[in-house]
């Protein structure tokens, strides 16, 4: 895994990009405007920090099986993974197999996951709630 600071481009790239068995995880986006010159019009420059890692390492972070210390950035990757799964289940119990009790359980689960970032041992240690059902 590589950590890169102050990467720049004229366009804002996606937060997470899967590209040929590697993942770019970008965060801390900053926008600046470069004034026009005699030869070039005014344009925007985006700057960010990013982690560049093999796909399997990214999924280890998502699943909570990453062998190194977690930081706030890695925990946000893990929460995003849990949110996405919860959203699938919320949609399932809203439309595919309507069940208000299970739908609400998944909504509550997602809220509980969100609250973990305010725990006393965050980001080093986080205990996520169990899946509903």
Number of CB atoms found within 10 A of residue 58's CB: 23
58-116 confidence digits (pLDDT tens): 999 999 999 889 999 999 999 999 999 999 999 999 999 999 999 999 999 999 999 99
pLDDT per residue as tens digits for the range 2-22: 999 999 999 999 999 999 999
Residue 15: predicted pLDDT: 94
b/e string for 76-110 if b means 16 or more Cβ within 10 A?
bbbbebbeebbeebbeebeeeeeeeebbebbbebb
131: confidence class by pLDDT, cuts 50, 70, 90: very high
**Residue boundaries of the structural domains of the chain:** 1-68, 69-133
Which pLDDT score, from 0 to 100, does residue 16 have?
94
Phi, psi values for residue 107, rounded to 5° = -65, -45
Predicted TM-score of the model (pTM):
0.84
């Amino acid at each position: 895994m590589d950590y890169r600071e102050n990467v720049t481009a004229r366009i804002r790239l996606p937060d997470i990009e899967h590209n040929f068995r590697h993942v770019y995880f970008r965060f801390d986006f900053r926008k600046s405007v470069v004034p026009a010159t005699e030869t070039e019009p005014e344009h925007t420059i985006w700057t960010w920090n990013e982690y560049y890692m093999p796909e399997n390492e990214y999924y280890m972070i998502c699943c909570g099986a990453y062998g190194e210390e977690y930081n706030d950035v890695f925990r946000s990757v893990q929460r995003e993974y849990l949110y996405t799964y919860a959203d699938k289940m919320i949609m399932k119990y809203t439309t595919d197999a309507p069940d208000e009790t299970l739908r609400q359980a998944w909504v509550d689960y997602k809220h509980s996951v969100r609250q973990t970032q305010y725990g006393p041992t965050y980001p080093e240690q986080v205990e996520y709630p169990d899946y509903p059902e």
